[in-house]
Amino acid sequence: MFREITPSEASDAIDLIGKDWMLIGTADKKHGNANAMTASWGALGFLWNRPVCICFIRPQRYTFGLAKENERLSFSFFGEEYRKALTFCGKESGRNGDKLEKAGLTYSMAYGVPVFDSARLTVIGRKLYSDEIKKANFIDMSMLKNYPAEDFHTFYICEIERCFIKNR
């Protein structure tokens, strides 16, 4: 009667973010360019009658300050051939110079955020809501192992305004 499936089979979004990873892109107004960081935690869903993308940013990321300043964020998804570039953007900080140039990722600015030439899927999100993860709100306290330095994420719930896929 019922066949059990995995969470990944139930929703493509789980592996899209968790396994393929994404770049959270922001404008860097102070330097007149853009920055992006790799993220593998997040969600795509439906909230307040809108399609949404949710991302989680620790306070020590350079992206943390940029995300606060930006009205929109871009969420970019790439093919496996860009794994090295995404690994780089997940280690290097934009605080130390133009990381996207070093990663060899070209982009143009649209809607105030970077849209990468090589992304197979680009999502433009407008920030609707933000909050910090709070220690006191954990129901399963074992999740605190993700925060040995108590560097709790700030999360952004963004309305998905535009989506682009790359023409081949």
Ligand X SMILES: Cc1cc2nc3c(=O)[nH]c(=O)nc-3n(C[C@H](O)[C@H](O)[C@H](O)COP(=O)(O)O)c2cc1C
**Contact residues: ligand X, CB under 6 A:** 21, 35, 37-41, 56-58, 61-63, 87, 90-95, 99
Q: How far is the CB of 51 from ligand X (least distance, A)?
A: 20
Task: Name the residue nearer to ligand X (CB basis): 39 or 115.
Answer: 39
Task: Name the residue nearer to ligand X (CB basis): 11 or 146.
Answer: 146
**DSSP states of 94-115:** GGGS-HHHHHT--EEEETTEEE
User: Do the Cβ atoms of 154 and 57 come closer than 8 Å?
Assistant: yes
List alpha helices for the chain, DSSP H: 7-10, 12-18, 62-69, 83-89, 99-103
Q: How far is the CB of 87 from ligand X (least distance, A)?
A: 6
Q: How far is the CB of 31 from ligand X (least distance, A)?
A: 12
Nearest alpha-carbon partner for 74 in 124, 38, 117: 124
Q: How far is the CB of 147 from ligand X (least distance, A)?
A: 11
Residue nearest to ligand X (CB): 90
Q: How far is the CB of 62 from ligand X (least distance, A)?
A: 3
Residue 19 CB contacts under 8 Å (≥ 6 apart), including other chains: 40
Task: Name the residue nearer to ligand X (CB basis): 88 or 111.
Answer: 88
Q: Cα torsion for 71, 93, 31, 84, to the nearest 10°?
A: -90
Task: Name the residue nearer to ligand X (CB basis): 5 or 32.
Answer: 32
Task: Name the residue nearer to ligand X (CB basis): 40 or 106.
Answer: 40
